[in-house]
Amino acid sequence: MAQTSFPAQSTTEGLKVGADTYSSAIADAQNYMNWVIDQFRPYLKGAILEVGFGHGLYSRVLGELGDYCGVDHDRDSVERAAKAMPDRKFAVCDILVRDQLSSLFPQGVDAVFTINVLEHIEDDATAVANLVQVLKPGGHLLISVPALMLLYNDLDRLAGHCRRYTTARLAKLLADQPVELVRLNYFNPIGGLGWLANRLKRHQSLNDSAVNGQIALFDKYAVPLSRALDPLSRSFFGQSVTCIARRL
């Protein structure tokens, strides 16, 4: 299954998609990517579904950890990923259409991995319900989303973010789902401070040289410091909220 399409139903018209939702330098942020993966590594096994694979950086690693498939509603992203990684499986899918994921994965999956996706979706409650639905009992939903509306700035607007999250808001989204929370915390305090500082500057593009330069510098120099400080700030501050939930 290199590509699968569901053209009849779509709830994503008008949304920013693909490369319009991230800075190009993030595709080279290997240290940051490794740190994110490490948060979830014990649960990344068996059938792994990545929802919203974007630049494809995580796809390369996840494919080494289990039976991987990446889905995205952006057809161009799927076609590029299928050409770049012919040994990986990719599919076009709208996660707001209830039965599309279950049609692709009738046996369910062991892990759903979704990084910086829910903030783009107005109806995030339906998205979360559909992600939970495709999990096997005992499988894990692995989420990372931008944290704290205090940090909302031009970069969020340019990326098409509807919101940033608190741990309480994400917990509320999961409260009515057949899952139990394994872990829910803030993540990456230095990144959060950087995002806060960006409120002081007007940005015209996610690919401004200053933005991509910040990402490169953070990945090269600040990730070790942020990793060291992270245990101290998990309860109250970070650039992201990360969540692990087990399907009952």
pLDDT digits (tens, 9 = 90+) for 127-163: 999 999 999 999 999 999 999 999 999 999 999 999 9
**189-238: pLDDT as tens digits:** 999 999 999 998 888 887 777 778 888 999 999 999 999 999 999 999 99
Instruction: Read off the tokens for 206.
Output: 């996610």
- pLDDT value of residue 5: 52
Classify domain 18-247 at the CATH topology level. Answer: Rossmann fold (3.40.50)
Question: Count of residues for the chain?
Answer: 248
Label residue 51 by pLDDT band (50, 70, 90). very high
The runs of H, that is alpha helices, within 181-239 are: 189-197, 209-217, 223-233
From CA 118, how far away is CA 242, in angstroms rounded?
A: 12
What's the order of all strands across the beta sheet hosting 240-247? 89-92, 67-72, 47-51, 109-115, 135-146, 240-247, 179-187
Q: Is the pLDDT reported for residue 25 higher than 80?
A: no
Place of tokens 């059938």: 47
| Residues 248, 242: Cα–Cα separation, whole Å | 20
- CA-closest candidate to residue 141, choices 119, 169, 171: 171
Give the DSSP H/E element, type plus range, for residue 70: strand 67-72
Q: Which residue has the tokens 């279950």?
A: 102
The pLDDT of residue 134 is 98
Q: What is the mean pLDDT of residues 84-105?
A: 95
Residue 233, number of CB atoms within 10 A of its CB: 18
As a whole number, mean pLDDT of residues 79-106 equals 95
